[in-house]
Amino acid sequence: MDKQKKQWLELMAQAVDKAAQAKGLESADYTSRIVVEHPPRPEMGDLAFPMFPFAKDFKTAPPVIAQAVVEALGAGLPGTAKTMGPYVNVFLDRAALIEDLIKDCASEEYGKSDLLSGQKIMVEFSCPNTNKPLHLGHLRNDAIGESISRILIASGAEVQKVNLINNRGVHICKSMLAYQRFGNGVTPESSGIKGDHLVGDFYVKFNQWSKEDDTAEAQAQDMLIKWEEGDKEVVALWELMNKWTIDGISETYKNTNISFDRYYYESNTYLSGRDEVVKGLEAGVFYKDEDGSIRLDLSEIGMDTKVMLRSDGTSVYMTQDLGTAIARHGDFPFDRLIYVVGAEQEYHFQVLFHALKKLGYSWADMLFHLSYGMVNLPEGKMKSREGTVVDADDLLKQLSEMAADEIRSKDRAEAVGDVEETGRKIALAALHYFLLQVSPYKDMIFNPKESLSFNGNTGPYLQYMSARISSMLEKFEERKGEFEGVSPDYSVMNSDAEWELVKALSSFPAAVRSAANDLNPSAVAAHLYDTAKSFSRFYHDCPILGSDDKVVTVTRIELAGAALQVLKKGFELVNIPFLSKM
RNA sequence: GCGUCCAUAGCUCAGCUGGAUAGAGCGCCGGACUUCGAAUCCGUAGGUCGCAGGUUCGAAUCCUGCUGGGCGUACCA
C-alpha cells in the first residue's frame, strides 16, 4: 500500500500544481501541504485528499478545486480518482496491490525498518528489590521494557536490555534480620518455597515484628552499617538471601519470556557513584551543606536542592544512579538510554539528568525517562499493608490454570498435546496483551476477573485466530495435490472483507514505526487486534478451502497465509507466544 | 501551596503530525454451529469527547482559564 500511496501523493501534487497554474496562480508550495487520509467508509475509496487547505489560495470552494484536480490528473492512472465533495478520493488498483502485499508479508523483513539504524539504544527495565517477589507493577514494567526493546530492534536499532538489581539498603536488611531471628535455617530447598517468596515472607515478618518491638528499625539500621563495613556474617547472609531472591525472580523472567543482556547491581555501583559525587564536589558542581550533606543546587531548573550524599557519608538512591549511568555509558556508548520507570520517579530523573549534565557528561542529553502509570485495582490502589498487592507468580499460575481448564472443557486436550504448557502460553498472551493495550504513560485499572476472560479484545483471541489459520493451512497442505498447477488470481478478491484484511495487513509496518517513534507498544497491540478481527470477518464471509473455485481457494489461502505471517511478527513484538493449536 | 500528568459510552480502553457520521471490548437485548476450529461471527441500544473561552475553512486532538482526580515536592527507593 505504501508504494501506491507514495505514487498517488506524487500524482496529486502535480495535479494540484497544474490546477493552480491553470488558475493563473503563482506557484506556491502546494505539494508540502497535501495530506493523505483514509476515508471513513470503504465504499468511499481507499485514499482521501482533502482540498480545504487550498481554498484560500484558490479563492474557490474545495469541491470545485477537487473537480479541477481530478481533471488535471488526466488518464492512465494506477487506479481511479473521484471527487467526493471537498475531497479527491482514490480507488487503488487492488489486484496489483494485493499481489505486492502477499509477497511482502512472506518476507522476513516485513514490519522491519531502518528508522533507527546505526543507533545504539540501552533500555533499562524491571529493576527489582531483592527483598520480595515481583508484583503486578513489575509485570507492566517488564512487558513495556521487553516490548519496546523488540520494537526498537525491529526498527533497526542496536539494543541492549539492562536490569539494575536493588540489592542494598535498609529494606534488604529487614528481611535478613527477620530471617536471623525467625528463620531457623529454613531454605527454599527445605521449605519448597520459591526463593523470592521465602525472602518476601521474612520481609513481611519483619514488619509484623517491628510493630511489637520498637528497636527493630534501629537494629535494621545497625545491620546496614555492618553490611557497609563488610561484616563477614552479615555479608554472607546477604549473599545467600540475595541469591535466593534473584534465582526466584529469574524464574519469573523465564516464565514471562523476559530477558536482559546485562545486569547491574546497586551494591557495585553505589561505590563508584560516591566517587563521582566527591569528584563533583571538588569540581564545584556540588557543594557541602551546613548539615554536612553534599548537595546539588537545582535553582537553574527551578527546583530546590537535592542531597547527593548523606552527612554520614552513606549513599542515597541518586548516588548509585549516577554511578550506574556512568558505568553504562562506558560499557555501551549509547545514543539513547531509556529508563522504563514509574511516573512517581519523574522528579528523580529530572535531577539525575541535570546532575550528569553539570558533571560534564555530554551524553546526559541522551537520557530519557519512559514514565509509565500505575496499575490499580478496581477497589483502588494496591497496598502491601492491606495485602492487596497482586503477586506476579500467583497471577500467572491462576491464569495458566484457567486456560488449561478451558482447553479441557472444550475437549481440546488431545489436539493440544501439552495442556499445561499451552495454558501457560495462553496466560502470557492474556497478561501481556492486557498490559500493553494501554498507553504506557496512563494509569490503568487491572481487573483480575476480566483479565481471566479469554473472550473479546484479548491476547487469547489473537492466538485463537492464528491457530485457526494454522490449522487451515495444514489442511490445505494435505490436499495440495488437488491444486496442482492452479495459480492465484488476485482480481478474484473483491469483497469488502478481503479488502479490509488487506488494508490491515498493509498497515503493519506503519504501526511498528509509530510504536517505535512514540515508544508505545499499544500501537502494535491495537494493530494486531485489527488484523485478527479483519481476518475473522474474512474467514466468516469468504469460503477458502470450501470454495468450489480452485483459483479462489489458492488465492485466499495466500491471503490467509499472509495474515498469519503478520500476526506472528506482531506477537513477537508484544511478547505473545504463537500457538498453532489451542 | 508549587510542579506534573490525566479526564472520551454504565465499566475498561483506542482515536496517527487538527479533517467527512467519535470507535472497540465487556456488560445488556436479539440472531447465527449437519458446513474451513462458536475461545467465533452478525445486529440493537448506549456519547454535550469534564466545563468555559480562543486559534482555524474545520478541534476529542492545538492554546488559555476553571473544575475534579493521580503522582511528586525526603539525608526513601
Q: Name the fold adopted by A120-267+332-376.
A: Rossmann fold (3.40.50)
Which residue approaches B71 most closely, CA to C1'?
A344
Q: Is A160 left (phi over 0), alpha (psi -120 to 50) or beta?
A: beta
The answer, yes or no, to whether residue A28 has pLDDT greater than 70, is no
Chain A residues 264-283, Cβ below 7 A from strand B: 266
The span from the CA of A379 to the CA of A385, in Å, is 15
- Cβ contacts of A5-12, under 8 Å, gap ≥ 24: A5/A36, A5/A47, A7/A78, A8/A36, A8/A47, A8/A78, A8/A79, A8/A90, A8/A92, A9/A34, A9/A36, A11/A73, A11/A77, A12/A49, A12/A69, A12/A73, A12/A88
pLDDT at A223: 92
Could you give the C-alpha distances from A452 to A280, A448, A569, in angstroms and in order? 52, 6, 25
pLDDT-based confidence at A27, cuts 50/70/90?
low
Chain A, 370-399: which CBs lie within 7 Å of strand B?
373-374, 381
pLDDT of residue A1: 66
Is A2-92's fold the same as A392-574's?
Answer: no
**AA letter at A202:** F
- Say yes or no to pLDDT of A304 above 80: yes
- pLDDT on residue A43: 80
C-alpha pair distances (Å), A430 with each of A254, A377, A570:
17, 17, 15
Residue A218 cell numbers, joined: 534501629
Locate A521 and state its grid cell: 507498544
Q: How distant, in Å, are the alpha carbons of A70, A167, A238, A245 from that of A175?
A: 75, 12, 10, 11
Q: Which residue is nearest to nucleotide B20 (CA to C1')?
A: A40
Q: Which of the 8 DSSP states describes residue A362? A: G
What does the pLDDT look like over A81-100, one tens digit per residue? 999 888 999 999 999 999 99
Predicted local confidence at residue A380, as pLDDT: 85
pLDDT tens digits along A127-170? 999 999 999 999 999 999 999 999 999 999 999 999 999 999 88
Of A505, A498, A517, A520, the residue nearest A569 (C-alpha): A505
Residue A54 CA and nucleotide B53 C1' are separated, in Å, by: 29
Q: Span A386-404, mean pLDDT? A: 92
How many angstroms separate the CA of A52 from the C1' of B56? 11
Strand order through the sheet with A262-265: A262-265, A158-165, A120-124, A336-342, A367-372
pLDDT single digits (tens) A560-578: 999 999 999 999 999 999 9
Under 8 Å between Cβ of A287 and A338: no
Sheet with strand A79-84: strands edge to edge: A47-50, A87-92, A79-84
The partner residues of A370 in beta bridges, in order of sequence, read A340
What would the mean pLDDT of A313-317 be, rounded to a whole number?
87
Rg of chain A in Å (alpha carbons)? 29
Say which CATH topology domain A2-92 has.
Gyrase A; domain 2 (3.30.1360)
CA distances from residue A340 to A34, A187, A353, A369, A443 in whole angstroms, order as listed: 37, 33, 15, 6, 15
Residue A368 bridge partners (DSSP): A338
Rounded CA separation A34/A300 (Å): 43
pLDDT digits (tens, 9 = 90+) for A246-302: 999 999 999 999 999 999 999 999 889 999 999 999 999 999 999 999 999 998 888
Distance separating alpha carbons of residues A520 and A438, to the nearest angstrom: 9
Domain ranges of chain A: 2-92, 120-267+332-376, 392-574
Closest listed residue to residue A321, CA positions, set A335, A307, A302:
A307
Give the pLDDT mean for A217-227. Answer: 90
State which nucleotides on strand B lie below 7 Å from a protein beta carbon.
Answer: 3-7, 11-17, 19-21, 23-27, 35-42, 57-58, 70-77
Q: Which residues pair with A87 in a beta bridge?
A: A50, A84
Q: Is the CB of A301 under 7 A from strand B?
A: no
In this structure, are strands A336-342 and A120-124 parallel, antiparallel, or unpaired? Answer: parallel
Residue with cell 492487596: A388
pLDDT digits (tens, 9 = 90+) for A186-201: 999 999 999 999 999 9
The integer distance in angstroms from the CA atom of A36 to the C1' atom of B54 is 28
**Grid cell digits, residue A350:** 529530572
**Nucleotide B2: nearest residue by CA–C1'?**
A303
Q: What is the pLDDT of residue A154?
A: 97
C-alpha cell read off for A103: 509477497
Question: Of A52-56, A177-181, A383-387, where does the model show the most confidence?
Answer: A177-181
| CB neighbourhood size of A86 (10 A) | 17
Q: What mean pLDDT, rounded, does chain A reach?
A: 92
Predicted pLDDT at A392: 95
pLDDT surpassing 80 at residue A67: yes
Q: pLDDT at position A352, please?
A: 96
Name the nucleotide nearest A311; use CA and C1'.
Answer: B75
A38 CB and strand B closer than 7 A: yes
Among residues A269, A268, A292, the alpha carbon closest in space to that of A281 is found at A292
Counts for chain A of helices (H) and strands (E), in that order = 22, 13
Give the per-residue pLDDT at A29.
67
The reply to whether A219 Cβ lies less than 7 angstroms from strand B is: no
Nine cell digits for residue A345:
520517579
Distance A364 CA to B62 C1' (A): 30
pLDDT value at residue A42: 78
- Closest CA relative to residue A494, chosen from A36, A4, A43: A43
Summarize pLDDT for A415-472 with one digit per residue, the tens.
999 999 999 999 999 999 999 999 999 999 998 778 878 889 999 999 999 999 999 9
- Lowest-confidence region among A71-80, A229-238, A420-429: A71-80
Say how far A372 CA is from B32 C1', in Å: 43
Please report which confidence band the pLDDT of residue A54 belongs to, taking 50, 70 and 90 as the band edges. confident
A457 touches strand B (CB under 7 A): yes
Using alpha carbons only, give the angle A317, A323, A327 rounded to the nearest 5 degrees: 140
Q: How many Å from the CA of A137 to C1' of B68?
A: 26
**Distance (Å) of CA A484 to CA A20, A165, A458, A542:** 55, 59, 38, 22
Q: How far apart are CA A361 and CA A333, in angstroms?
A: 12
**Is strand B less than 7 A from the beta carbon of A316?**
yes
Share of chain A above pLDDT 70, in %: 99
Q: What is the CATH number of domain A392-574?
A: 1.10.730.10
Q: Which of residues 482-501 of A touch strand B (CB under 7 A)?
A: none
Q: A571 with A525: CB under 8 angstroms?
A: no
A541, closest nucleotide (Cα–C1'): B41
**Cβ–Cβ < 8 Å for A73, A90:** no
d(CA A474, CA A22): 59
Alpha carbon distance A554, A544 (integer Å): 8
- pLDDT, position A394: 94
Cα A100 off chain centre by: 29
Cell of A555: 488465492
CA A468 / C1′ B33 distance in Å: 16
Q: Find the nucleotide nearest A317 (Cα to C1′).
A: B77
Query: What ipTM goes with this model?
Result: 0.95
Between residue 410 and residue 439 of chain A, the positions with Cβ below 7 Å from nucleic chain B are 410, 412, 415, 426, 437-439
Q: How far apart are CA A576 and CA A237, in angstroms?
A: 38
pLDDT per position as a tens digit, A529-556: 999 999 999 999 999 999 999 999 999 9
Query: Would you call A221 helix, strand, or coil by DSSP?
Result: helix
